[in-house]
Amino acid sequence: MRAQQVARGQLKETKIDWTKEPAACVVVSARGYPDNVETGKPIQGLDGLSGESDVVVFQAATAVRDGKVVTVGGRVLGVTALGSNLEAAIQRAYAAVEKISFDGMHYRKDIGQKALARLRTHAHR
């Protein structure tokens, strides 16, 4: 999987390549989600991810206004990464999220932790 960004409405045009590596996705939301969402916030850092291998940023609640990608809803981005194992995929996804910013940006910090705990439990049996 090569680094790419999939903008709203372009998913049907995207070629899908299956891989055996685990993937993790961190959803990035706007301030106020899910109730009173702030919109129109310019998103920085997306271009910087174009060179990242095995990272895909799915744009969900975005639009282009005055040449800038801005937020237009609550669940703004899905930052997805592959890794050699689940822990590596999670770390890579969070590293990609750290390169993105917009006013009011929020995301969970515990994505995949329950799955990792289960894997560790089963490994010690």
Fill in the DSSP letter of residue 11: G
State in words which class domain 4-123 has.
alpha beta
21-74 residue pLDDT tens? 999 999 999 999 999 999 999 999 999 998 888 999 999 999 999 999 999 999
Cα–Cα distance, 30 to 40 (Å, whole number):
10
* Closest to 117 measured CA to CA, from 93, 90, 92: 90
* Closest to 106 measured CA to CA, from 65, 77, 69: 77
Tokens 């680094």 belong to residue: 3
pTM of the model: 0.84
6 three-class SS: strand
pLDDT-derived band at 123 (thresholds 50, 70, 90) equals: confident
- Geometric angle at alpha carbon 8, from 36 and 69, rounded to 5°: 65
Mean pLDDT, rounded, of the chain = 90
